[in-house]
Amino acid sequence: MSIRTSQPSLGSEHSPDSPLSIHAMTVAYERRPVLWDIDLDITPGSLVGVIGPNGAGKSTLIKAALDLVPKLSGEVQVFGRPYREQRQHVAYVPQRESVDWDFPVTVLDVVCMGLYHTLGLFRPVNRRIRDRGMQALTQVGLSDFANRQIAQLSGGQQQRTFLARALVQDAALHLMDEPFAGVDAATEQTIVSLLRDLQSRGRTTVVIHHDLQTASEYFDHVLLLNTRVVAFGPTKEVFTPENLEATYGGKLTLLDQASQALAGHAQGVGR
């Protein structure tokens, strides 16, 4: 049972201008806590990497913030107001495997889905929506693929399609679940420059990331997560061997570190 009020009595910890402010959030699946007492204030305009071992609750953090999984307790505010009032400011990029890529839709159809909420319940997709969809596809370098069925795309192109669907929403806050998973080197570079571009335009982005090798290069803030927040702050201060050790439960031996890096590369090269 959660009580939602627009002015929580204990909400004084919420920073009103934070793009994403999570307070005392706990999430459990079948009584097993997946996230425990999460407190976070994302700095406006930052590019945040969320890092932690498998099962650390990284995806759940984003899904719970977006009300896609139920919370046991806690509150989420987006720019100082409850998320449900602020949906139009948030764009979500789910994991690529979360959908059926054999579905009969074209690349442009998928991108236009990012703008469905701007249309009334009964209004069909119109020219304005399609034009904006094409612009977003051009941004990710897929304009030539607009009328292809999504099954004909490579893994990297599918990921860029999802990014275009987020870009088209022109949101202030982007939440991305493993956008670098299983993409080719060219797509990885495209995504990195898109993230930088978003940041240069003052947008805030939270990215779940699995590759420790590139994390410090890509992100100016990192959130080290393992059920609890182990450490959160500017990458230079937080991304230390001691904190990583604590995040990976002391199990991150040299061998683990190497295989973590290898797994990242294998996924980057695979497919």
Which residues are near other proteins by CB under 8 A? 63, 66-68, 87, 90, 92, 94, 98-100, 103-106, 109-110, 113-114, 116-117, 119, 121-122, 124-125, 148-149, 165
> Is the CB of residue 186 less than 8 Å from the CB of residue 268?
no
In contact, 197 and 136? CB cutoff 8 Å: no
User: Closer to other proteins at the Cβ: 90 or 140?
Assistant: 90
- Return the closest-CA partner of residue 52 out of 38, 32, 71, 69: 38
Neighbours of 70 (CB within 10 A): 11
In the bound state with other proteins, the residue whose beta carbon lies nearer, of 13 and 67, is 67
- Dig out the tokens for 236 from the structure: 């230079």
> Burial of 252 by CB count in 10 Å (0-12 exposed, 13-18 middle, 19+ buried)?
middle
Residue nearer to other proteins on the CB measure, 92 or 218: 92
Cβ closest to other proteins, residue 23 vs residue 165: 165
Contact 167, 139 (CB under 8 A): yes
Coil, strand, or helix at residue 114? helix
Please state the closest distance from residue 173 (CB atom) to other proteins, in A: 12
Whichever of 14 and 63 has its CB closer to other proteins, that residue is: 63
**Shortest distance in whole angstroms from residue 213 CB to other proteins:** 29
Q: Minimum Å distance from CB 92 to other proteins?
A: 5
* CB closer to other proteins out of 32 and 251: 32
In sequence order, the β-bridge partners of residue 76 are 22
- Residue-wise over 218-246: b if at least 16 C-beta within 10 A, else e? bbebbbbbbbbbbbbeebeebbeeebbee
Q: How far is the CB of 88 from other proteins (least distance, A)?
A: 9
Q: What single letter denotes the amino acid at residue 129?
A: I
Query: What letter does residue 149 receive in the DSSP assignment?
Result: B
Which CB, 124 or 202, lies closer to other proteins? 124
Task: Please state the closest distance from residue 76 (CB atom) to other proteins, in A.
Answer: 13
Q: How far is the CB of 108 from other proteins (least distance, A)?
A: 10
Minimum gap (Å) between residue 94 Cβ and other proteins: 6
**Torsion angle, alpha carbons of 229, 82, 175, 33, to 10:** 40
Looking at residue 44, its amino acid is P
